[in-house]
Amino acid sequence: MTLSEIQWPRKTREFHNHHFDSTVWNNFKFRDDDIVIGTWGKSGTTWTQQIVGQLLFNGDPDVAVSELSPWVDLRIPPKEVKLPMLEAQTHRRFLKTHLPVDALVFSPKAGYIYIGRDGRDVVWSMYNHHASANALWYAAMNDTPGRVGPPIDPPTDDIRQYFLGWLEKDGFPFWPFWENIRSWWEIRNLPNVKLLHYNDMKADMPGQIRNIAAHLQIPIDESRWPAILEHCSIDYMRDNGDKTVPLGGAIFEGGAKTFINKGTNGRWRDVLNAEDNARYEAAARRELGDECAQWLLSGGGV
């Protein structure tokens, strides 16, 4: 099949809430070498942005990924500010999204990376993120003009109840989880799309960085490889949060170390019971199908 024969994804809806303004993409002017990094959230987005930044800038320790690689569909700052800033960038752009594919303007010539992670690990990380958000974060999400829908409130449940509420209400109080995973899984075979899994990145970060470089056609300067690896480690990112974390972590109690936190999996194992896990795994199979559900559970090549 030639590129002209491919049925490329088309945007069919807008997505708005306390975080999202999907209309930003409608006015974004793609360049042929743009890079788009997507996840549902708390699945290695910032880590992958750091990896791409290090590849593009050849292991430079001063690359401020938090400034260079914005979350395009976040409604803050408004598109009137964000779009001119992106248009002014002269380097190869690498952008972040948390949208499902059908709410995203898709470019056949851009390169896409999507990272998946077991939903239970996602929630444990998101709970830390949500519970540690400070007044500045809530003011930005809730009080900035243009919010559509209800505000987001601080969590009041313990972690298990938080997870069960997230599962029952599909991603509550953020955005739907299953449709996000499913929409990217459905386009996994497109030539400009690569799906990664958080488990695989943890197990073999050097190998996954090389896979990312190959997919995006970024040559690796082997003399800078040790620096690239050092700057992509979780510890390095946590210790240099002024460059790697949005706003340097100022919107979270504890700063960047809270935003990046542990980066570990399986913390739910001592909290969720057998019935909780069965409910989650049944929902995954029902919503995603067996193959995608298995991938989300354990990773592996796609």
Check whether 2 has a pLDDT greater than 90. no
CA distances from 206 to 52, 115, 152, 222 (A): 13, 16, 38, 12
Do 37 and 69 meet the contact criterion of CB atoms below 8 Å apart? yes
Q: Which two tokens stand for residue 279?
A: 């409910």
Q: Which domain holds residue 147?
A: 14-298
Does some domain include residue 139? yes
- In the Cβ-directed half-sphere of 193, how many Cα atoms lie within 13 Å? 21
Long-range contacts from 267-273, C-beta under 8 angstroms, 24+ separation: 267/121, 267/124, 268/120, 268/121, 268/123, 268/124, 268/163, 271/159, 271/160, 271/163, 272/120, 272/160, 272/163
In a domain, 7, yes or no: no
CA-to-CA dists, residue 220 to 59, 118, 236, angstroms: 10, 30, 20
Q: What is the pTM of this model?
A: 0.94
DSSP 258: H
- Residue 6 in domain: no
Instruction: Output the domain CATH number for residue 189.
Output: 3.40.50.300
Residue 238 binned pLDDT confidence (cut-offs 50, 70, 90): confident
pLDDT score at 193:
98
Nearest-angstrom CA–CA distance, 83 and 81 = 6
Does any domain span residue 4? no
What does the alpha-carbon distance between residue 259 and residue 62 come to, in Å, rounded to a whole number?
A: 20
In a domain, 5, yes or no: no
The answer to whether 146 touches 251, Cβ cutoff 8 Å, is no
pLDDT in tens, 171-217: 999 999 999 999 999 999 999 999 999 999 999 999 999 999 999 99
Question: If you average pLDDT over residues 45-60, what whole number do you get?
Answer: 97
DSSP 8-state code for residue 96 = E
Bridge partner list, 116? 197
Q: Are 58 and 243 in contact (CB under 8 A)?
A: no
Please state the domain count of the chain. 1
Q: Does some domain include residue 2? A: no
pLDDT of residue 265: 87
Asked if residue 250 belongs to a domain, the reply is: yes
Which pLDDT tens digit goes with each residue over 126-157?
999 999 999 999 999 999 999 999 999 999 99
The pLDDT confidence band at residue 43, using thresholds 50, 70 and 90, is very high
223 within domain boundaries? yes
Q: Which residues pair with 193 in a beta bridge?
A: 112
